[in-house]
Amino acid sequence: MKAILCTHYGGPETLQFGQVPDPLPREDEILVRIKAAAANSADVRTRSLDAPGLLKPVMRLIIGWNRPRNPILGNVFAGVVETAGTKVKAFKPGDRVFGSTGFKTGGYAEKIAVRADSSVALMPASAGFEEAVALPFGGQTALYFLRKADIRPGYPVMVYGASGAVGTMATQLLKMRGALVTAVSSAANHGFVRSLGADRVLDYTTEAFEQDATHYALVFDCVGFLPAKKAKARLRPGGKYLTVGGLDVASEIKSDLQALSEWFDEGQIKAVIDRVYPLEEAAEAHRYLETKRKRGSVILTVE
């Protein structure tokens, strides 16, 4: 099968198109013919081993010391079940599914074998493959962190980095919960994040952001760039500061995928897609990701 291979850590040029054997699913696994994969910040960190301080050796232990243990990156996929193992009851050939693989990766390829009881679920009935694959990374990450915050209707919340994959989903999920959302992004994205439901917008480069006197129930840094001291100074008593990109790694839960699927079909959330590249242009997709200017998700299509 076709795949994008990363055989050593480095820049986008380390991603090379190649051919590898098809995966052989076990009796408790499904073999999925991938139609779309997400290219996201986790893939960039895996490829480049770009991590601060103690996180770098931790990442080496998890994903491979000198090179990625699995050379096929990509932790989010959507596609069609090709075969199902003898012990699999939840899926059958022809089912449209989407899922996330965490540190196991494997999405930048034509096929993937995953356990049926892992983080894989039926796609939203009304979604195309590109839309479906735009939901898990941002959606599951946002849900993981928001569970820690116990946000209730009327609570003021700051979403820092509101235009990225996690930020766009966090903004929508918080509005579902009735929060008052202040979205922080570049000025160019203000209209965009308002369209997702943000009540207020702030440009992180301006005095208005620095002088914002709101006391928030939650400051959620969706990109890992807001200094903790600055974030905590904006909290009201009992408020929480949460950030992605640190040692607290979001877990990937099947029930979260199922919830995202239902909310999409009900029209409560939407998939946000910035750019779409063919699988063969994965390196170019990573170069775009490194500009840190994307809105929502970057998608790779697999023919």
User: What is the DSSP track for 154-186?
Assistant: T-EEEEETTTBHHHHHHHHHHHHTT-EEEEEE-
**Tens digits of per-residue pLDDT, 99-113?**
999 999 999 999 999
Q: Which residues contact 205 (CB under 8 A, 6 or more apart)?
A: 186, 187
**Tens digits of per-residue pLDDT, 197-247?**
999 999 999 999 999 999 999 999 999 999 999 999 999 999 999 999 777
Distances (CA, A) of 189 to 182, 243, 293: 13, 21, 10
Per-residue model confidence (pLDDT) at position 121:
98
Please give the Cα distance from 162 to 217 (Å, whole number). 17
Amino acid letter, residue 222: C
Q: Integer distance in angstroms from the first to the last C-alpha of the chain?
A: 11
The larger pLDDT score, comparing residue 53 to residue 8, is at 8
Residue 50, pLDDT > 90, answer: no
Amino acid letter, residue 70: N
Please give the Cα distance from 119 to 129 (Å, whole number). 17
Please give the Cα distance from 152 to 149 (Å, whole number). 9
The pLDDT confidence band at residue 14, using thresholds 50, 70 and 90, is very high
Q: Are 241 and 221 in contact (CB under 8 A)?
A: yes
Please give the Cα distance from 5 to 236 (Å, whole number). 47
> Which run of H or E residues covers position 113?
strand 111-115
> Which run of H or E residues covers position 240?
strand 235-243
Per-residue model confidence (pLDDT) at position 256:
98
CA 147 to chain centre: 16
Q: Which residues contact 51 (CB under 8 A, 6 or more apart)?
A: 45, 58, 59
Q: Are 153 and 178 in contact (CB under 8 A)?
A: yes
pTM: 0.94
Q: Are 186 and 205 in contact (CB under 8 A)?
A: yes
3-state class (DSSP) for residue 22: coil
Which residue stretches of 50-96 are H helix?
A: 55-63
Longest dimension (CA), the chain: 61
Average pLDDT, the chain: 96
Residue 249, pLDDT > 90, answer: no
The mean pLDDT of 59-72, rounded to a whole number, is 93
For 12-23, the DSSP string reads GGGEEEEE-PPP
